[in-house]
Amino acid sequence: MSKTMNRWLLGILFTWIVFMSMACQKENPNKLTSEFLPLEGNPLVQFKILVKVGSSNDPTGKEGLTQLTFSMLANGGTKAMTYEDITKAFYPLAASVSVRVDKEMSVFSGTIHRDNLEKYYAIFKEMLLNPGFREDDFNRLKTNLLDFLGKTIINNMDEQFGKEILSLMLYEGHPYHQIPAGSVETVSGITLEDVKAFYKEQMVQGNITVGLAGGYPADFPAKVTADFSALPQSFTPQLSLPAQSLPQGLQFIIADKQTPATAISMGFPVTINRSSKDFFALWIAGSHFGEHRQHVSLLFQKIREQRGQNYGDYAYIEHFIQGRDKFPSTNYCRQQQYFSIWIRPLANSNRHFVIREALLELKRLVDEGISKERFEMVRTYLLNYTKLYAQTLNERLGWQMDSHYYGYRDFLAEVQAQLPKITREDVNRAIKKYLNFENVYIAVITQDGESLKKALVENTTSPITYANPNMPNAVLDEDKIIESYPLQVKPENVRVIPAAEFFKKAGLPR
C-alpha cells in the first residue's frame, strides 16, 4: 500500500474517531468548538480562530475596545517575542495574522505553506494565547485607530464613510450602535489595563471556534484543540437584541465636505437573517435588484448602463463586505440584518436625480415584484454563481463556519437544494413582507449639503443632462417621471452635519 494511501486511511480514521467522540460529548457552552476541513495533499493550511465577540460587546464609553484589544493580538508582541521579532520571523514564511472585528464576531486568520506549519503555529498560538500587551504596541495601535477615526475615514474614503453613517443611523440606541473602530473620544479613553481586562474576560473557550483547513497532518487538530483548551472555561452569552423598527419616513443625514462627487448609501432593517426559510426568496429579490458588481443588477442596468451616471449601483439583503472582486466575505454573521443600496460616487449635479431614481426603482420592486422571466433567470444565475463562492481555503472554511452559525450543515449545498423549490410567488411575497420604499435611512456625502436639503424638502424638479444628444426616448421619457418623482421629505428628517463632526463621539453627532 502506498504512503499516500496510508495517510488517507489514517486521516479518515482520525476524523471518524474525533467526530464520534465529539458527537457523543454533551454540549458544554463553556468549552471551545472546532471546525476542520482536511484536504489531503493541499500545500497550504488555513487557520481561522473565530471569537463570538464583536463591537457590540464594547462597554459603554469604551467603544472601540474589541477592535483595539484584538489588534493587540494580531499586530502586537507575545510574552516571549516583541512584534519586531514576530515580523522578522514571519517574513521568510510569507506569513501574517490578520484580524477583523464585526458587530457580533471577530476572526483571526492566517494562511501558511505546509513546509512552515510548525514554525508558524508556534508563534500564532502565542500571539492569541500569551499576548505581550506591551506599552509601545498599545501606543502604536491606539494612535493608528485614532488617525483612522479622526482623519482617514472622513477624508480619504467617502464610500466607506457613507456606509458607516448608514450603520450609525440604522442602530441608534441599539447594541450595534457604533462602528467597530469606535470613536475618537472613546478610544482616547481606553487604557492598556482596559485591554488586558477585556482580553481576560472575552478570550474564553466558550467564545471560540478553532478552524483549520488544508493539508495539515492528521494529528494537528488535536494539538491545536488542546492548546486552545488552556483558555478558561467560560462564555459570553449571545446578545439579546431589541426588535428592530423601520425609520419613520425618509430620513437623511448629509455629511457636508468639499468634494466633486456624491456618495450615497441607503437602507432599513430587515427582520430575517440567513437562517430564515424566507431568506432564499428574498435573496433572489436582492440579486435581481442589485447583485454586487454584476450586470444582472437592475439598479446597475438603470443607473449605470442606461444612463452612465456612475460606476456601479448595488443592493444587499444582509450586511455585505466585498471580498476579492465579487463574492461576499465570510465571518460577518449577525443576528439582525438590514437591506441596503450602495450608489457609487457620482457628479454632485446628479445626486438628487439618482436618489429619486433609486427610491423609485425600489417602489416599483415593492409594488410590482419580479417578473416571471427575471425570476427564472436570476434563480438560475444564483444556482450557478454560488458554485464560485468558495474557491480559496479561507473562503471554504469561512462558509463552513457561517453555515453552522445559521444552523445549516452546508449553506452552499442548501442553496442548491432550496432555490429550485422557490417560486416567483414566494419571492414577491417576501418582497412585500420585508422591503419598503417609504421608510428608509439615507446617508449622503456631498458638498453644499444645505442646497440638497432644500431641494429634497421642496421636492424641486431635478432634470439631468447627457453627453449623448440622442439618448433613447424610452430613457428620456422615464427621466421625466424620475426628475419630478415626489419624495415625502420632512425638514426635520434631514440633518446636514459637517463631515469632520463624525466619529468624534460614539453614535451620531448631536
Q: Which of 231, 241, 246, 261 binds other proteins (CB under 8 A)?
A: 261
* Type and span of the H or E element at 11: helix 3-24
| Contact map string, positions 216 to 245, toward other proteins, x by CB under 8 A | ------------------------------
Provide CB contacts within 8 A for 335, sequence distance 6+: 104, 238, 239, 241, 273
Distance between CA atoms of 245 and 248, rounded to whole angstroms?
9
The stretch among 59-67, 255-263, 355-363, 480-488 that binds other proteins (CB under 8 A) is 255-263
Going residue by residue from 443 to 482, which x/- string records binding to other proteins, judged by CB under 8 A?
A: -----------------------xxxxxx-----------
Please select the residue that binds other proteins; options are 94, 122, 417, 476, rule is CB under 8 A. 94
Shortest Cβ 329–other proteins spacing (Å): 15
Q: Is 123 left (phi over 0), alpha (psi -120 to 50) or beta?
A: alpha
Which residues of 94-227 form beta strands (DSSP E)?
Answer: 98-101, 106-113, 208-214
User: Is 497 an interacting residue with respect to other proteins (CB under 8 A)?
Assistant: no
Instruction: Tell me: does residue 246 bind other proteins (CB under 8 A).
Output: no
Residue 191 near other proteins by CB under 8 A: no
Q: Interface with other proteins includes 155 (CB under 8 A)?
A: yes
Q: How many residues interact with other proteins (rule CB under 8 A)?
A: 110
Output the nine-digit C-alpha cell for 178: 457604533
Whole-number Å distance between alpha carbons of 72 and 99 = 10
Q: Should residue 18 be labelled a site residue for other proteins when binding is judged by CB under 8 A?
A: yes
Which of 93, 129, 192, 231 touches other proteins (CB under 8 A)? 93
Examine residue 259 and tell whether it contacts other proteins (CB under 8 A). yes
- Residue whose entry in the numeric block shows the C-alpha cell 453614535: 507
Asked if 252 contacts 446 with a C-beta cutoff of 8 angstroms, the reply is no
Per CB under 8 A, contacts with other proteins among 416-435 are none
Q: Does 111 bind other proteins (CB under 8 A)?
A: yes
* Cell triple for 391: 474557491
As a whole number of Å, the CA-based R_g of the chain is 25
230 SS3 class: coil
DSSP string, 176-210: T-S-TT--HHHHHT--HHHHHHHHHHH--GGGEEE
Locus of grid cell 440638497: 452
Site for other proteins in 330-389 (CB under 8 A): 344-347, 377-378, 380-388
Task: Give the C-alpha separation, 244 to 363, whole Å.
Answer: 21
Please, which of residues 115-134 interact with other proteins by CB under 8 A?
115-116
Q: How far apart are CA 279 and CA 282, in angstroms?
A: 5
- Does 295 contact other proteins by CB under 8 A? yes
Which span sits near other proteins by CB under 8 A: 42-50, 57-65, 420-428, 452-460? 42-50
Told to check if 154 binds other proteins by CB under 8 A, we report yes
Q: Are strands 337-347 and 313-316 parallel, antiparallel or unpaired?
A: antiparallel
Q: What are phi and psi of 135, to 5 degrees?
A: -60, -40
> Which residue number, 129 or 464, has a Cβ lying nearer to other proteins?
464
Side chain identity, residue 341: I
Among 219, 311, 349, 458, binds other proteins (CB under 8 A): 311
**Does the protein bind other proteins through residue 31 (CB under 8 A)?**
yes
Please, which residue, 65 or 208, has the CB nearer to other proteins?
208
Supply the minimum distance, in Å, between the C-beta of residue 6 and other proteins: 16
Q: Which stretch binds other proteins (CB under 8 A): 34-42, 50-58, 98-106, 436-444?
A: 34-42
Report the C-alpha gap between 203 and 183 in whole angstroms. Answer: 23
> Cβ contacts of residue 135 below 8 Å, gap of 6+?
192
Minimum distance between the CB of residue 478 and other proteins, rounded to whole angstroms? 14
Which residues inside 200-219 make contact with other proteins, applying CB under 8 A? 214-215
Write down the least CB distance from residue 155 to other proteins, Å. Answer: 4
CB of 272 to other proteins, least distance (A): 23
Among 168, 296, 299, 435, binds other proteins (CB under 8 A): 296
Q: Does 34 bind other proteins (CB under 8 A)?
A: yes
d(CA 37, CA 501): 46
